[in-house]
Chains A and B, each alone.
Chain A
Amino acid sequence: MGKNAINKTCTAIKELLVYQPSDRPDLFVLDETKEDRKKRDWDSPPPSFSESLQQFEVMVIYARRLAIFMEKCIAVLNNGQWSDKAEQLKAEYTGLEKQQAEIGNILVNDNSSNNISELAISTSLEENQKIIETIYQLPINKDIVLRKLIISDQPKMKAMLVFMDGLADKKIVNMTVLQPLMLMRNGQQKLDADDWVGNIIEQCLPNGQASRVGSFKEVQQGINTGDALLFFDGIHEAVSIETKGFEHRGVDRPATEQSVRGSQNAFTEVLRVNTALIRSMLHSSDLITEMIPVGKRGHSNCAVMYLASVANRELVAEVRRRIKGINTDLIIDSGILEHLIIDFPQNPFPQSLSTERPDRVVVHLAEGRVAILVDGSPFGHIVPVSLFTLMHSADDFSMHFYYSNFLRIIRWIGGFISVFLPAIYLAISTFHPEAIPTELLLSITAARAQVPFPTIFEILLMELAFELIREGGLRIPGILGSTLGIVGAIILGQAAVTAKIVSPIMVIVIAVTGLASYSIPEYRLASTFRVFRLVFVFLTLAMGLVGMACGFFVITAILVSMKSFGMPYLAPVAPKTTPGGDVILRKPIYMQKRRPDELNPQDAIRQGDVSRPWTEEIPTGGDH
């Protein structure tokens, strides 16, 4: 027994000390693939010159054979020997077809070594099929449907329909593409061979949109956005047919920008629905929607909308230039696009207005701004903006100007409290207690007497707790999130005070600060204010109110030197320009005669000098 125990102990020590290889398989390590490494190390050199020469010779031989065959066919037809020579020609034709298939492989291999997306559509249906298979990794990729069909006997025309399962509506594909094309063959409908594609579009396809495409880049854009692509044998063009029909969320109420009196529509994830929502509110022939594809691999569509007769042309050109100049893989959200096109991506202040409300977009378009929408994102971005624009809310336009101005003042006070209150409390309680009235000072001192931590620790602790509750509330599913957030905050605050970790006044300070931060209408601006709140707390910790004043001065200077798409961020205050009547406070609608001068719109006048001419007319009715 004793020996066993000693043996076991020795074995355990030996196992502990002596290295033994693990019998488990190696864990997965995300590394370069062997193929990548081979490419990098030039393990497989490019095809040799002799190999290329050989391939070239094969193609030349095929071309020669084809030419001889065609000459022979012409001669046979001219001499009227068709019936005698038909079998021989058929056999030769079969041979040529085999050889063409081999050459097709050579061509595809050659093309795949280049940028395949840039290729033009081939006249060979097989080659096009192979390129499609290469691009979409068929047959591994199950989303792509590749359907071959014969659409005409005289002349015999093979075709191929390609679409993305799930993005294209199969009913639309069956009813408006396949059915008419296949019935055409039964009905012996004759098409003009000179413009086969044009005739197909005009006579056979009853879809709303059908257009010619010439390159695989356009082919991919079509397929990836839900269109069906129709290829023909012997024709170097394809037809992109609109068959979009994927599932999406319907137009709903705004979730983050609720309004009491304004419109109740919000954007969805579908770009075309969003552009239509804007157009349904702004019935103007001037309203331009430019579509710019972005993302090398994602090919998201990005809509740039503006009023052609109002928006500054240079601004539109700049927006277009920046979006076209993006070189990235994928853009799945308008927020990502924003970071790629704004002037100061390192600066946390938002440089565009992000909104889910079409009515806000319309108001800003009418002022001369540009809206940017991205496929798949329910938020539109408006550029350029100033800090003052970010403090406006959707309701401001619907409410009476007295009340909306009152709300704006409340928001600015909220913003000020959100940034400065903890820092001011820290400064006054730590550095300048003489500024507090005596009674209040005694009350604070009495409350703090039992707390063993310095004020800064209390602030950081409470800020951390508040942010945890906020972040946790977002992650907890459903209605539980907000409930648990509120309950958590109350319980945690009460418990912290009872446990004498923080003083009651600190709970009040942080709660008021948190509440104030929610009065800021732009979510990203509120987040920025939260970050700067901490910055000010640390500046105050270092130098009291002097630190706070220095920080405020420097941050104002930074904001002044910032620009949003070329427009100063604090315009029309700095630099001073003619305001449009809607900056910090808002004038009545009938007095907002000019568009914001800082946007340099083509038409600076929003409404005439007398926007209510009826006030100058003598009423026709009534008792005078």
Chain B
Amino acid sequence: MKTYYVGKLGTAEGIALVFGLVVSRLFLSGMADGIRGNGQLYWLSMILFTMIPLVVLFMMVYVTNSVSGDIVAVCQHLVGKVGAWLILVAYIGMFFGNSALVLRQYAEYTLSTALPRAEFQLVIVWYAVAAGIICYLGIEALCRTSYILLPFMLGGLILILVMVNPFYVVYNLTPWQGNGIMTAVQSGIHDAGYNLGVLSLVFLSSAFQNAKTIKSAAIYALGGSLVLRIVYMLVYTMVFGVAVGGEKAMPFFELARLVYLNQYIQRIEALFIVVWVIFGLLAIAGSMYIGLYLIVVLLKLPALRSIVPLGVMIVANLAMLPPDIGYTIQVDQLLIQVTQMGIYLFPGILFVMALVKNRREKSCTSI
């Protein structure tokens, strides 16, 4: 008998979980890369790489509705035991990889902006242990903490976007075609892995009340994150322009540094460390929990808490592997490529198999 307790999650918890998983990269260099690649039309790319995972989630909800049981049972029923193992191990790798790379990038971010004299390993271990404690408390605590803190964090983010208004140059948004529509569309299809976190709702489907809760949580979370991303991207572009903005390694920090309203409200970027630290922790802990959860259900382990220290060690060690931040960003881009499998390939296979099996069953019953 399973002794681990996933908890009872509602729409608010689902929104908070997905939002925490997908928004964290807003503070990292991905935004600047996107603007560099797509120019002023990056928003179109954002719409695409948000809509695609949403469609994928709806497909996966169809899959889980058509077969009863947890994600392992669903996969085993549709693609067999070996197939299920392959798919779930791949997802475990993706979530652990995401956790480790976000951890590494946030640690580098911390070293560059907040604690330049701190020891690198100490920062990594600090984040990993904090994320481990949150995982130990469970997904229910993680989600609820997330939706208590998110309004304040988003408030801080929006405040920064508003406070840099003296630097808005609307002409920076032109030419609106950016680097071309096709480039933006390709980029949108290519970067759909940024929102892999939305599939966590499917993996934890047993904790949610029903499919409607999962769908509404996904719509609100991805919709909210899309609006936030687009607003952020437009403000960032207005402030820095495409040429300068595309060069920045820490876009949020650079934006916050510009705030100068008067001699008392200036150089407030240090205070906003709290905001991105919490966003980072949400993403690290959330990804780590999903990875651990998949391990537990796959191996039919009786408890999750006991493997949390193991997860912390794995994630911390993975995060320490890349030799420098440049290599880390390269690996991160590679991970986004790999996560395309998690967005397109596996859900596609499962959806097709579910459709075929459903049709067969229907035809059998009609005979």
Contact = CB atoms under 8 A, between A and B. Distances in A.
Interface of A: 428, 431-432, 434-435, 437-439, 542-550, 552-554, 556-558, 560-561, 570, 573-576
Contacts of A575: 8, 10, 12-13, 144
B271 A545 contact: yes
Given A542-B126, A544-B115, A554-B133, 9 more contacts: A543-B118, A545-B277, A546-B273, A549-B281, A553-B130, A556-B149, A557-B134, A557-B137, A561-B137
B268 A435 contact: yes
B148 A432 contact: no
A89 to B, nearest CB: 75
A553 B141 contact: no
B145 A556 contact: yes
Interface string B167-184: 000000000000000000
Given A550-B130, A553-B281, A438 B263 contact: yes
A558 B277 CA distance: 18
B10 A560 contact: no
A545 B123 CA distance: 13
B270 interface: yes
Contacts of B142: 557
Contacts of A570: 144, 148
A573 B148 CA distance: 7
Interface in B52-84: none
A574 B144 contact: yes
A145 B137 CA distance: 58
Given A544-B114, A545-B277, A546-B273, A553 B263 contact: no
Contact of A560 (B141, B263, B264): B141
Given A432-B273, A434-B270, A545 B114 contact: yes
B148 A546 contact: no
Nearest to A559: B145
B264 A553 contact: no
Contacts of B344: none
B243 interface: no
Contacts of B278: 549, 552-553
B137 A558 contact: yes
B134 A560 contact: no
Contacts of A550: 126-127, 130, 277, 281
B273 A557 contact: no
5 contacts: A549-B274, A549-B277, A553-B278, A561-B140, A574-B145
Interface in B255-282: 263-264, 266-271, 273-274, 277-278, 281
User: In the complex, which of the residues A438, A543, A557 has the most CB atoms of chain B within 10 Å of its own CB atom?
Assistant: A557
Contacts of B271: 432, 435, 545
B337 interface: no
A98 B264 CA distance: 100
Contacts of B141: 557-558, 560-561
Given A550-B127, A554-B130, A556-B145, A432 B270 contact: yes
A558 B148 CA distance: 13
Contacts of B193: none
Contacts of B269: 434-435
A329 to B, nearest CB: 35
Contacts of B263: 437-439
B12 A546 contact: no
Contact of A549 (B118, B147, B273): B273
A576 B148 CA distance: 10
Contacts of B12: 575-576
Nearest to B142: A557
Contacts of A561: 137-138, 140-141
B110 interface: yes
A439 B142 CA distance: 41
Nearest to A543: B126
A557 B127 contact: no
Contacts of B145: 553, 556-557, 560, 574
A360 to B, nearest CB: 26
A560 B138 CA distance: 10
Contacts of A554: 130, 133-134
Interface string B112-140: 00110010000100110010011001101
Contact of A431 (B114, B130, B140): B114
B284 to A, nearest CB: 11
B114 A546 contact: yes
A560 B130 CA distance: 16
A544 B118 CA distance: 10
A297 B274 CA distance: 53
B335 to A, nearest CB: 24
A573 B12 CA distance: 10
A575 B8 CA distance: 9
B286 to A, nearest CB: 12
A241 B318 CA distance: 76
Report which residue of B144, B148, B268, B273 has the largest number of chain A beta carbons within 10 angstroms of its beta carbon. B144
Contacts of B115: 431, 543-544, 546
Contacts of B10: 575-576
Contacts of A547: 126
A543 B125 CA distance: 12
Interface in B334-348: none
Given A545-B114, A557-B142, A561-B140, A428 B270 contact: yes
A542 B10 CA distance: 36
Nearest to B106: A546
Contacts of A573: 148
Contacts of A556: 145, 148-149
A178 to B, nearest CB: 63
Contact of B273 (A438, A545, A558, A574): A545
Contacts of B281: 549-550, 553
Contacts of B134: 553-554, 557
Nearest to B12: A576
Interface string B293-316: 000000000000000000000000
A246 to B, nearest CB: 49
B110 A546 contact: yes
Nearest to B11: A576
A578 to B, nearest CB: 13
B279 to A, nearest CB: 10
B118 A574 contact: no
A548 B271 CA distance: 11
Nearest to A576: B12
A574 B12 CA distance: 9
B285 to A, nearest CB: 9
B126 A546 contact: yes
A69 to B, nearest CB: 69
A622 B138 CA distance: 64
A570 B130 CA distance: 21
B154 to A, nearest CB: 15
B268 A557 contact: no
Contacts of A558: 137, 141
A446 B263 CA distance: 19
Nearest to B16: A574
Nearest to A555: B145
Contacts of B118: 543
Given A543-B118, A561-B138, A575-B10, A435 B267 contact: yes
A435 B270 contact: yes
A557 B266 CA distance: 32
A431 B268 CA distance: 13
Contacts of B273: 432, 544-546, 549
Instruction: Kindly list the 10 A-B residue pairs having the minimum CB-CB distance in the complex, ordered from nearest.
Output: A432-B270, A574-B144, A549-B277, A435-B270, A561-B141, A549-B274, A550-B130, A560-B144, A557-B145, A545-B273
Contacts of A435: 267-271
Contacts of B277: 545-546, 549-550, 553
